[in-house]
Every structure is written in structure tokens, then in C-alpha cells.
A and B are shown apart, each in its own frame.
Chain A
Amino acid sequence: MGANASQLEKEIGSDQFPANEHYFGLVNFGNTCYINSVLQALYFCKPFREKILEYKAKNKRNKETLLACLADLFYNIATQKKKVGTIAPKKFIARFRKENVKFDNYMQHDAHEFFVQLIDSINECILEKQQAGRNRQQQPQIIPTNQEDISSETLTPDQQNILNDVSLNGSNTAPGSPHGQQQQQGTDRQQENTWVHEIFQAIVTRELRCLNCESVRSTDEVLNNLSVEVHQNTSITHCLRCYFTTETISAENKVHCDNCASLQEHQKRTRLKKLPSILVLHLKRFQFLGQFNRPLKLSHRVVFPLELRVFDTSDDAVNPDRLYDLAAIVVHCGTGINRGHYFSIVKSHRFWLLFDDDLVDKIDPSYIEDFYGLTSEIQKSSETGYILFYQARDPT
């Protein structure tokens, strides 16, 4: 690893090496590449790293939470004397395993599942801290929630079902919940926005438009990432366009419109209402198919550009043309969800780097093509983009 590290430094060149930047591999503690790959991707999502380091600066002495462990790890990397090297994320992994029984073993896990769990846990830590602070200072900072066009209370159960049916990635919103996941978690402190929300939160709105009177009802779902279906020989743009659907509900499926006071044809649309600063796209490459009782990997070739915009934004979306740059890719290698290997490719300043546990390599961006997937339908091992991190170009 020493040789690898110095080689990287040589390859970049001391005069070219970005100031205050550190490229450190992470030691694998037995199938922890699913953790390492996501941590590296997050480390190179600038707004996220800045917030974590800011947290570290503000909370010198802190009880050991997952957030504190992550902050220590990022701080440790960011303050290394050397520019390249290896770090063992021992404390973080131990803490994560302790808090999450499911991950408390030496098995390979789903990097996406880890990402979701990590973001939720961090958010939870921040909220707890805010709560504690508020109890001391008595200064509530409640940020108003988004206004709905029509509150969901006015909907009939049928309409609720229609709206909820539009669920995109299996995480159904609870009936009667206009705030989706937020409400599921149940406490009113969930209504507050944390910086985690500011960075990752996407709001997906499902509209039900009466084709007779044009009135619109909508429900929102708050997501930290979008899980898109993959199709052979398509682009991530197309996957997103499939995610955001428009369909007409007619004939026997007509829905009651309160405004018209009768059954009417409706148009059902799913649109992106809030565009996050970091748009995390999860390619649903692991799917249960028919006779197999374990998820199979879809190695379909899905191309993803270095820049991205979202086509299907809602009419009331703020900054609907937000331009994103690809910041990091978590790549899955192998045939199944519980086997194989993960590594990540990140962009740092002008360079593209490949972080494979303790190994770090500078790569040519054209190498990314190798991780689009396979055009052959034959099931075989592949190295494919699995989680894409797109970062908004506008200043945050």
C-alpha cells in the first residue's frame, strides 16, 4: 500500500496535487467494502463533507454517536500530514454495527441499504442534538412544512389509494400521510429540516388532476435518494423519465372528484418538486425474478453522463433546471447482492479517483464507460454503476 500511495502522489504530481486535499484508502475489516465505498463517495460530496467537518469543529467533546464517529473519521482524513495513505475506519464500523443489528456481522451487505441507514442515523443524531439544545435554550426553530394544494384530509379513501399506488420504489406512503416518510417516523420533531435534508432531500409529488375540472390534488413524498428501475441499453435520463410517470385513469377506474361531485377521468403524474443539492440515484439492479428466491443482478447497460438535469419537475418546483455534475459512483462487482465487491469512483478537483478499500488510483474519466453495464443478456459477473451521486453546480 505504501508503494501504491506514493505512486498516486507521483502520478498526480506535487505541483498538481490539490491543496488541503487528502486521498486516503480505507482498510477493509472483512466485507466492509459496502461501507468503505459509500463513505468515500460521501467524503467527496463537498457539501456533505463540509457539514460533517463543521459538526466536528463545533462539537469537540461529544458522546459517541454514529455522527460523531463519522465526523472523527472525516476529520482524521482531512487533517493528515501526508497527502495519500490508508486509514482504518475501525471506530465508525464498530459503532455502526453496534447500532444496527442487521449489519452486525461479517457478511456482505447492500451498499444502498447502508447509505439509507447511515443518512437516517445521522439525521437522527442531529435531531436529538437539536432537541437537547432546545430543551436547554427554549428556542424552538420550527421550519414550516410545505403547503399542499389540497390537504389530503379532503380525499376519500379511494383517492388516497390511487395516490399511494403511485409509490415509486416500494416504500409506500402511509395512507393519509401527506408527508410520506416524515410522518411514518411519527414525532413532530421530524417536521424540522436538518442540513441532511437540505443536502439530500428530494420531494416527489404525485398529482391527481381531474380531466373535467382541472383541479389538482397532490401528495408529497420525501426521499433521500431515488431508486430507479434499470432497462437494457438505456440512459439514467431514461430511467428517471420512467420513474416520473404520467398516466390517465379512465373507464372503470374513474375516481371521484369532489369539485365535480362525480366520477371523473383523472391524470396521474409523478413529478420532482424539490431538487436536492446532492441527487442520489440508486439503480435497482437487484431484483427478485420468478423462480429464483434470491435477488438476481441486472447487469443492463445504463449510461450516465457527467452532467444531468431532471426533465419531469413539477410546475411549482424551485430551480427546475438545476444542473448536476457527477460527483461519485459506487460500483458493484459480481453477481449478487450478498456477494461480490464494492468500490467507488469519485471526482476531486480535476481528477477522477478510484477508491477500492485501501487502494487509491487516479483514473482517466473515459474509464467510467467500463461501469455502464453489459449489453449481453446472459447473466454473468459485471462491474456496474450502482449508486450515482450528482451534485448541484449552483453554489449551495
Chain B
Amino acid sequence: MAEGGRRFFTVPQFATLKKLGAIFVPPLKGNVGAVDTDAPEFLDYLIGVSPAERQTLYRSGLDGLNAQARRQFNKAFADLDNKQADAILKPLLTPVPWVYDLPKDPMKRFVYQVHQDLRTATRNSPAAAAASASSGRRGGAGGGLYWNPIDPV
């Protein structure tokens, strides 16, 4: 697993993803945020082994945000301040009443997806579990009964 570093995305794509992690899932209410948990690195791994459709959604989405930042602020997305990032991201947010009916617009769809994925990757990370254990707080994503491969062929 590529917890430690970037493998799939290009350097600018990964920088954009990290910036999204910082904005979408900041450390709130004493919880760890996406960047503290290596959630962007985990998504670099996950998307790298995902079907082509998901890879394209991410790559085009990250490139699209970066291009927009250059057009609007003459900077890379990763170098925007929070107000500038908000100006790009907020118009791309959509409430999704039902998670199998995603926005048709690819940028809106990407922004929805990366937000949800960063949240899940953060919540389910070893770092989040360690942080909640050491603070003695309830929380962390928990666990369950895992089915091993059953008598595989």
C-alpha cells in the first residue's frame, strides 16, 4: 500500500488533492483532518487500482480545478488561500439526496466524490483510530466481522 507517498497522480494533481483534503476535512472538534491522516496518499493508492472510469473522473477533476485556479487567480490550486479556493469550490457543490444519483456535470460529480472519499479515508484511517484511542474519546470508524475468503477455488 502506498501510504507513504504519491504514485498514481502527477505532482500537480497530488498537490491539488492534498489542498482539497485540507479544505474539505480540516481538523475539527479535536478530530484529525485529512492531511494529518495521509488520506490523500491513501486515495492516490486507491484510485491507482480503481477502474478507468474512476481514474478519469479524478484526473480530469484535479486538472480541471488546477486550470480554473490558473485562469481565475493565476496560481496553482494548491497555492490558493482559503477564500480563493472557496470561490472555485462552492459553485461546484451540490446536495445529493440519493447517493446513486450523482450530478451529471463531471466537475460537480468529481467534487462530490472527492469530498466523500476524503471524509471516509480520513475517518477510517489508522491515524484517526490512534488519535481517538489516545484521547480516550469514543469514535473512530469502528470495525466489524470480516469474512475471510471462504474455501476459494
Co-complex (A, B): no
Task: Mark A residues whose CB is within 8 Å of B.
Answer: none
